[in-house]
Amino acid sequence: MSTQEHTAAAHVHRDDIGSRMGMWLFLFTELVLFGGLFFMYSVYRYLHHQDFYIAARSMNVFIGTTNTIILLTSSLTIALSIVAMQNGKKILSLILQGTTVIFGLVFLVNKYFEWMAEIHHGNFPGSPELLSQPPGHILFFGLYYVMTGLHGLHVIIGMVIIMFMMRFTMKDVITPDQTVKLEAAGLYWHLVDIIWIFLFPLFYLIT
Amino acid sequence: MEKQIAQHIEKPGHSYGKYIVVWLALLTLTAITAVVAGVNLGEVTIVVALIIASVKSYLVLTVFMHLNVESKPFKIFVMVALFFLIVSIVLLFSDFSNM
């Protein structure tokens, strides 16, 4: 009995490849979720392309580009945090993880100002100004709020996950030999980045 | 000493360099896509934007998400997922273009 217990304690079950594959399978469900929205966007754009061009004129390209740079850089910092951890640099890894969370926050603050400006111009679902516009215009802003909103929700979730990873790093649950949790968090964050890579040209650069 | 060197060679991908190079490439592509959008290319604009976005996604998938060092099943999984996404959009538009 005691020998069995001893062997059980010595052999902690660990399957890093399985963990990463599980994460990828989850990411495919995210692909379906956003894929459906991208399909809807492409059909409505196909049917109302002239309205889409006009509606996209009110998009703030400067904030859109800034947010793209911020999100790409945050992808770099989370990728580097994994390398730092694998190299045994715990503090550097923590700083890079924290930087990623801060970038996420800056992204959301920019998004807040962007949305507030649009709402101020009367471009929000159900507003009298928007309802007086042609249908393609209304659809564009409907899709804009749903897709960037759902993406923003993913940014918030990603930030919470990375904050958990920071705690795991501090508690030595994530160690140089055991980085799979941090890698999975990184995969999620990169997926959020990829979704933005497509949202950016489709909403900001179609004028 | 030899063992240490062997271990070092065994574990590639522990350097920061390639991530920074990819990040610079991503920023360059972002700049290109923003500039190209300003040029009036008509119908081609969206195609160029989507090609650049695909190249950026490829870089993120292979380097940041480590697909280049993952085993074959991972690559097949991703390709199957993307294949079905492409099939869906092709079927969707073959339906719409006949309306």
For chain A, give the number of residues.
207
User: Which among A190, A193, A201 is the nearest to B33, CB-wise?
Assistant: A201
Q: How buried is A123 (Cβ within 10 angstroms: 0-12 exposed, 13-18 middle, 19+ buried)? A: buried
pLDDT at A206 over 70: yes
Where do runs of H (alpha helix) occur along A61-89? Answer: 61-86
Q: What is the pLDDT of residue A49?
A: 87
Q: In this structure, what CATH number is given to the domain that contains residue A61?
A: 1.20.120.80
Mutate to test the interface with A, among B55, B65, B87 (most CBs of A within 10 A): B65
Using a CB-CB cut-off of 8 Å, the residues of chain A touching B11 are 86
A53 close to B42: Cβ distance less than 8 angstroms: no
What is the residue range of A34's domain?
Answer: 19-204
The model's pTM: 0.89
Domain count of chain A? 1
Residue A183 lies in a domain: yes
Per-residue tokens: A115 = 């949305």
Reported as a single tens digit per residue, the pLDDT across A74-102 is: 999 999 999 999 999 999 999 999 999 99
Mutate to test the interface with A, among B20, B23, B62, B64 (most CBs of A within 10 A): B64
pLDDT at A12 over 80: no
Q: What is the pLDDT of residue B8?
A: 46
Q: Where are the domains of chain B?
A: 2-68, 71-99
pLDDT at A50 over 80: yes
Instruction: Judge: B53–A69 Cβ closer than 8 Å, yes or no.
Output: no
Reported as a single tens digit per residue, the pLDDT across A125-150 is: 888 888 888 999 999 999 999 999 99
Q: Is B66 on the interface with A (CB under 8 A)?
A: yes
First to last CA, chain B: 71
Residues A39-68 as b/e (b if ≥16 CB within 10 A, e otherwise) read: ebbbbbbeebeebbeebbeebebeebbebb
Using a CB-CB cut-off of 8 Å, the residues of chain B touching A61 are 34, 37
Q: How far apart are CA A189 and CA A194, in angstroms?
A: 9
Find all residues with CB under 8 Å of A140, minimum gap 6, and list them.
A44, A48, A51, A52, A55, A56
